[in-house]
Amino acid sequence: MSECFNYVLANIACVVLMGTVLFNVERSVDKQISTVILARMMRLLVIYFLVDSVWMLCESAVFVVNRTTFYILSIIPYLCLVTSSWLWYMYCEIVQGNTIILSHKGTFISILPFYAAVIILIIGLFTDYLIIIDETGYQEYGPLYAVLLCVPFGYLGYSSIKAFTRAYNQNRYYDHSLYIAMGLFPIMPIICGLLQSFFLRVPILCYGATSAILFLYITATENRITTDALTQINNRQELQRYLSLKMRSPAKDMDLYLMMLDVDYFKNINDKFGHIEGDKALVTVAEAMKTSFLDFKNRPFLCRFGGDEFIVVLEAENELMVQEKADMIRNNVTELNEKSGAAFSLSICVGYAKYDYNNPVTIPQFIAMADEKLYEMKNKEIKYLIGGTVYKSYWFILTNSSCYSVLYRY
């Protein structure tokens, strides 16, 4: 009997912990679809812990129920788990940018394994192919039980593999830690779930599921703390941490560069078109930065430094690669702004600095070096009149010895 109550107490402890996390998620102002799905998954796990406790009390003969009721109490926790696993799969797909999953077709295809599991559960209600319960209440598993376990483990395993793949293949530093967390999340529930299937009276799965949720919640919270809320790239605080690591550990055959970006005439955009349009302009710049590095083999660090200033920290083999990326960012800013149908033109200035490991400087000094190059470019702005149209030209200062001019309609 003590074994039964220890099992129930373990579930209650997990309910308290999960409920605390759920309370914080529910009261958060973040109501993105991914957050809503995560909250639903936690609610289902709370239901699982509670029903699993009732199942243990019935299995230990604290409560006496008939065979059908006991079977229902046995499958409700499984339904909670398989639904949670499907929701986790949906959460991972949405966070990783798969918007197709939210369409009717995408949702229907993703939920097909869940429907297959429900059919197996219905078959098990009328046959002994799933769970065998004798007159004394002793429970054994039938041949379909292994097939049933493949559904939640399949959702979790696929999500884990895909997250790990993206974590190490995507050149986006700001997503790396979250992808790692999503990859690690299913491992503990899968291991604990397998152990639970062999040791029914030991509360293993509740601990595994709760620890995984706590790990994900802490990682997501840290990610929000280090992410700029508007542009969804790294913020200034994370820049300090990243540079403190990179400036101490040079990469083999790579140089460390810091690019400083500044939006042209940003105050005029805010004053003339309003701050909402100004915010959209900043988001456009951030998206242009992300797009520019999709094919870059070394993961760059993208950051909103403050106001209309952005920073890119990257490792490159030579300065030409940095120049090409700077030019690509500027072109992408113009292109994305035109596609958005904005009522204003949008352009940026860029300057960069190379870090010298033989003559180390502080983080503020390194940033100031790039900032100096940026303002050299701004100060060399020249206006041209061609065919009755005023153009502005920037002498784009990238190195001490290299500059070139680009014309824009003013």
- For the chain, domains (ranges, CATH) are 2-225 (1.20.1070.10), 236-409 (3.30.70.270)
pLDDT of residue 9: 94
CA proximity to 176, closest of 165, 186, 187:
165
Please spell the DSSP secondary structure of 238-297, one letter per residue: HHHHHHHHHTTSPPTT-EEEEEEEEETTHHHHHHHH-HHHHHHHHHHHHHHHHHHTTT-S
pTM given for the model: 0.67
The encoded tokens of residue 321 equal 């690669």
Tell me the average confidence (pLDDT) per consecutive run of 10 residues in the chain, 410 residues long: 87 94 82 81 93 89 83 87 91 82 88 91 81 67 83 91 79 66 86 84 89 85 81 89 90 92 92 93 94 83 93 93 92 93 92 93 93 81 42 40 37
> Is the distance from CB of 7 to CB of 59 less than 8 angstroms?
no
Q: How far is it, in rounded angstroms, from Cα 330 to Cα 326? A: 6
The encoded tokens of residue 17 equal 């912990």
**DSSP annotation of 162:** H
Residue type, 218: I
pLDDT of residue 120: 87
Percentages helix, strand, coil for the chain, rounded to the nearest 5? 60, 15, 25
The CA-atom distances, in angstroms, between 42 and each of 37, 215, 229, 285, 352 are 9, 13, 24, 36, 46
CA proximity to 388, closest of 403, 363, 410:
410
Residues 6+ apart with CB under 8 A from 177: 219, 222, 223
pLDDT of residue 266: 92
Backbone φ, ψ for residue 385 (5° rounding): -115, 110
The CA-atom distances, in angstroms, between 389 and each of 331, 338, 407 are 21, 19, 12
Residue 233 Rama label (left phi>0; alpha psi -120 to 50; beta)? beta
Q: How far is it, in rounded angstroms, from Cα 190 to Cα 188? A: 5
- What letters, b where the CB count within 10 A reaches 16 and e where it falls short, cover 38-51? bbbbbbbbbbbbbb
pLDDT of residue 276: 92
> Is the distance from CB of 1 to CB of 18 less than 8 angstroms?
no
pLDDT of residue 173: 55
